[in-house]
Amino acid sequence: MAFKPRYERGGILAGRYKIEQIIGEGGMSRVYLASDLKLPGKHWAIKESSISAELVARLAEEAALLIALNHHRLPRIADFFRIEDGDCAYMVMDYVEGEHLDRYAMKLGKALSPLMLAGFGKQICEGLDYLHGLRPPIIHRDLKPSNLLIDGKGEIRFVDFGIARRYKRQVTEDTVKLGTIGFASPEHYGGRQTDGRADLYSLGAVLLYLGTGCKFTSWGDESKAEFRRRGFLPLEPAVSRLLQTEPECRFQNAAETREAFGRIAASLAAGGSKQEDFAAKRPVNGGTAPARSSVIAVMGAAPGAGATHTSVVLAHTLLRRGGRVCTVEMDAKSGAFRRIARLAEEGFAAEEAAGMRRFRFRGVDYIRAPSRAELLTLFSEGYAFIILDLGSSGRKELAEEFARADLSILVGSAAEWRREDLTLRTDGSGTVSGRRNWICCIPLASPETVRTMRKLMGTRHIYALPVEYEPFAPGRETEEALAEACGAVLPQLMFHERSRLRWKRRNRKGSD
């Protein structure tokens, strides 16, 4: 049955609201601008929706959601009611004077800049971060330009929550497959329950749509070419990542996405225009960042040598020095990061946490088994350090990562019967996996063991690491050991003058 609106301009709704004009219309609803007869000068946006037994419950749920919300990007609901014996329900909301985001972008045309588009992304993420941060989270599920208004000050507001719902942890997939084609994520169409990452996909579709002159909503050769042609290359890594088919390959939360767009906007505002600009310009220790992310590769000389433990300790040590840090589990067969994920996501079921390919724990981002394309996008995310946990397999592609890193660390065992593991990694000329400039760290090694291994391997770049029972909160002894081992390459590890002097003194003795 077709929806038949009940009111036209001049009509009086519920004896209180005078219809001034129609400001929006769809297949099952209409939105009016109405003046309040009891509060002179006050205007409301009133959504009139056709109702059925199923729809009444959904509209009531929408009203309940909105009543509980309190965020400057989201609409505030003032009233929800149904006219007795009528076939429509009414939701009274604050009236936001503005323009739909797609119409606004079309009017701007070529004047729409990368800085503005990054700003749109950041503002939308503010609203999504609030929604997804509620317990349980609220998933919008219908993010699109016509549900976003921009006012005269450039502020974006969400204006429709018709199919939003609370995330149900025990449910495997959505019971109602709703969403707008083109802007809805792949998981909207069945097979799994949508979570906050579905809204992030929709955000990517919105930004691509605006950045291609309202032509494209999915990532491909044509859309990428149009996006670049219009000057939005600086946003490409972030937008393409949002539009990944698999949720695990996208940004994992709105806060992380907001930070990414914030960095892009800051770089563009400072004059950066190339893709590498915003990857390079980031604050470290309050100062100017190096030209790009520093890559550290950690490889075990044999299984159980401690490559993952060393990677984690190093990541959390570097985090204290300033800047963002991520550590990447490069061996897809390893299960270490799955176990860490369970610690990071205590509120999730064990199997759900173990399935997460990207998560944050105590300030460090953990990424499991990324594709080559996903690995490359990390360089656009403003990390000061990217630590690659290569495991101990020694596969060709992992050996290549070890060889090309800024700092390559080989982790060996202190046991006398395991020393051969280290010597077998070299080719007799001091090269390890194609890398001449490398260091070796041996957990629990005694000074005598270090001296012996330096002679045996023909290099003084072999260092002991103390036992560290808290890899996520390394102690001072561990920090000092890492400063000694890595300080020449990573000056951020020189965390105080005493460590710097100790490092100089020990290396002077080693060269004698």
Structural tokens at position 162: 């018709």
The structure tokens 């996903």 sit at 374
Per the CB < 8 A criterion, the answer to whether 288 and 456 are in contact is no
4 is in an annotated binding site: no
* Calpha distance 1→30 (Å, rounded): 16
Per the CB < 8 A criterion, the answer to whether 317 and 493 are in contact is yes
Three-class secondary structure of residue 97 per DSSP:
coil
Phi and psi dihedrals of 205, rounded to 5?
-65, -40
* Calpha distance 241→238 (Å, rounded): 5
Three-class secondary structure of residue 77 per DSSP:
strand
Per the CB < 8 A criterion, the answer to whether 490 and 294 are in contact is yes
Structural tokens at position 310: 């060393």
Compute how many other C-beta atoms are within 10 angstroms of the C-beta atom of residue 271. 8
Phi and psi dihedrals of 79, rounded to 5?
-160, 150
Phi and psi dihedrals of 168, rounded to 5?
-110, 110
> Which DSSP state fits 154?
S
Per the CB < 8 A criterion, the answer to whether 47 and 91 are in contact is yes
Residue of 435, 443, 386 whose CA lies nearest to 411: 443
Per the CB < 8 A criterion, the answer to whether 197 and 250 are in contact is yes
The structure tokens 């450039």 sit at 154
Residue of 237, 234, 275 whose CA lies nearest to 116: 234
First to last CA, the chain: 92
Per the CB < 8 A criterion, the answer to whether 209 and 117 are in contact is no
- Phi/psi region, residue 402 (left: phi>0; alpha: psi -120 to 50; beta: rest), is alpha
Q: Which residues pair with 12 in a beta bridge?
A: 18
Structural tokens at position 155: 């502020």
Task: Kindly list the distances between the CA atom of residue 62 and the CA atoms of 22, 56, 314, 417, in Å, as whole numbers in the listed order.
Answer: 21, 10, 47, 67
Q: In 414-496, where does DSSP find H-type helix?
A: 419-423, 447-457, 476-486
CA 220 to chain centre: 21
* Calpha distance 268→234 (Å, rounded): 8
Three-class secondary structure of residue 141 per DSSP:
coil
Annotated binding-site members: 47
Annotated binding-site members for ATP: 47
